[in-house]
Amino acid sequence: MNRDRIEQSRRAPGAWRRPVAVVLLAFGGAPALAQGPDVYALRQAAEERARAVEPQVVTWRRDIHEHPELSNREFRTAALVAGHLRSLGMEVRTEVAHTGVVATLRGGRPGPVVALRADMDALPVTEQVDLPFASRERALYNGREVGVMHACGHDNHVAILMGVADVLASVRADLPGSVKFIFQPAEEGAPEGERGGAELMLEEGAFENPRPEVIFGLHVGPGPVGRLSYRAGSTMASADWLRILVRGRQTHGAAPWSGIDPIVVASQIVLGLQTVASRQLPVTLTPSIITIGSIHGGVRGNIIPDEVEMVGTIRTFDADVRRDLHRRIRRTAEQIAASAGATAEVSITHGYPVTVNDPELTARMVPTLQRVAGDDPVVVQDLMTVAEDFSYFQQEVPGLFFFLGVTPEDQDPATAPSNHSPLFFADEQALPVGVRALTNLTLDYMTAR
């Protein structure tokens, strides 16, 4: 079925089954937008180029999908991106945060600097989708050989932003501002012992010379193909790593009173942690999740071990709640352990911050998303407990991170394989919508001054 769908689009790359490329020239609804003839001509030229580049965006996406690369190892992808951006006459920096690419397109007219971001890395997942361009790549991941797949859809992000770069470069002479294109490695997390991703890109000057005023980004995922969705304010959760080492005293399993059983204590801690979110924090303020995903302790059924290790994740949507949650987790684990004569060492490693869409910027740009979507309604996205290191960019400048549905029309988004599944499939009909959304966000921000 997937091969049939792909072959249909291969025969007619521009003949999308849905009217996804409409209404760039329908200007009603955009607030405070300068609607002079220059803006109209700029939009018209961008629309024409966007239509022309559609087949190439498909070609890029298929090539990148077939040749995925793990975090901090995106060498081929980075070379493809850098070569394309250089061919457009941009100033290009490579090897930013290992394999990142940062390019600047300077418009022919003065105006603001807008940053656009796409993440490039794939996942250690063996693809099970029947595609003519399915990945057969293998690689080492933390010392193990694994399959590699763009199971999160970053191949779509890269191809879309390469298309946007082509479109905006084609109107460079009339562009009222500059654009920074940020192709980021390691959004899925750097390998063990390494650093990477958005945080390291910022440390290595991704926002310097020139510094952007705002940043836009998108992510593909479940939803009707081409559907755009967004959320103002907190959108995606922070993600922190939790490790708890419970120490007791080893003894014979037939005489537990002669030692201190860390397995029982660890079990009590798991249950106790669930009351932190449900009984210690205001449930009307923001959702919070504490998950213990792994417990290890002992080697035999008749030996009570000395210690048990638990690891898990902490998710929430507010920076203050995040700090309070960490404090309560430590207190709960340590005091439950102490009540049994054991000890609990709690280690919390900060991961990605909360992804927060600037409310004012979001309100300003929603009409743009609505215009690009045409007759398909733009919807408000529910809170998402997954995390995104786009959040680091948003800590520096106002940002808007939105979502693009890629579920094929013959599948239910609620049951179709989602991101990170070996069966995840992104319908290419969504690609033109992504190109037009990022293009128009850029143009609208620059011209609505």
Give me 68's structure tokens. 């995925």
Q: Is 141 a catalytic residue?
A: no
Among the listed residues 69, 74, 127, 428, the single catalytic one is 428
The catalytically annotated residue of 230, 352, 392, 445 is: 352
Locate all alpha helices (DSSP H) within 67-133, ordered by sequence.
Answer: 75-87
Q: Residue 160 is which amino acid?
A: I
Residue 17: per-residue pLDDT: 39
pLDDT tens-digit series, residues 320-365: 999 999 999 999 999 999 999 999 999 999 999 999 999 999 999 9
How far, in Å, CA of 174 to CA of 81, rounded?
Answer: 24
- Three-state SS annotation for 263-322: HHHHHHHHHHHHHHHHHHCCCCCCCEEEEEEEEECCCCCCEECCEEEEEEEEEECCHHHH
| 46 phi and psi angles, rounded to 5 deg | -65, -40
pLDDT of residue 142: 87
What is the pLDDT, as a whole number, of residue 16? Answer: 41
- Cis peptide bond N-terminal to 287, omega within 30: no
User: Residue 298: CB partners within 8 Å, gap ≥ 6?
Assistant: 263, 304, 305, 308
Largest Cα–Cα separation, the chain: 87
Residue type, 28: G
Nearest to 153, CA basis, from 101, 218, 94: 218
**So what's the pLDDT on residue 38?**
85
Q: How far is CA 377 from CA 70, 164, 336, 416, in A?
A: 35, 23, 50, 21
Query: Residue 134: its pLDDT value, please?
Result: 98
Local structure of 337: helix, strand or coil: helix
Q: What are the backbone dihedrals phi and psi of residue 381, each rounded to the nearest 5 degrees, phi first?
A: -75, 140
> Is 428 a known active-site residue?
yes
Closest CA to 266 of 293, 287, 297, 301: 297
Residue ranges in the chain modelled with pLDDT below 50? 1, 8-37
Give the three-state DSSP class for 219: strand
* Domains of the chain and CATH, by start: 2-237+354-447 (3.40.630.10), 238-349 (3.30.70.360)
The pLDDT assigned to 3 comes to 57
Dist CA 332 CA 193 (whole Å) = 30
Q: Which residues contact 19 (CB under 8 A, 6 or more apart)?
A: 374, 375
List the structure tokens of 15. 């003949």
pTM, two decimals, is: 0.91
pLDDT of residue 343: 98
For 113, the 3-state DSSP assignment is strand
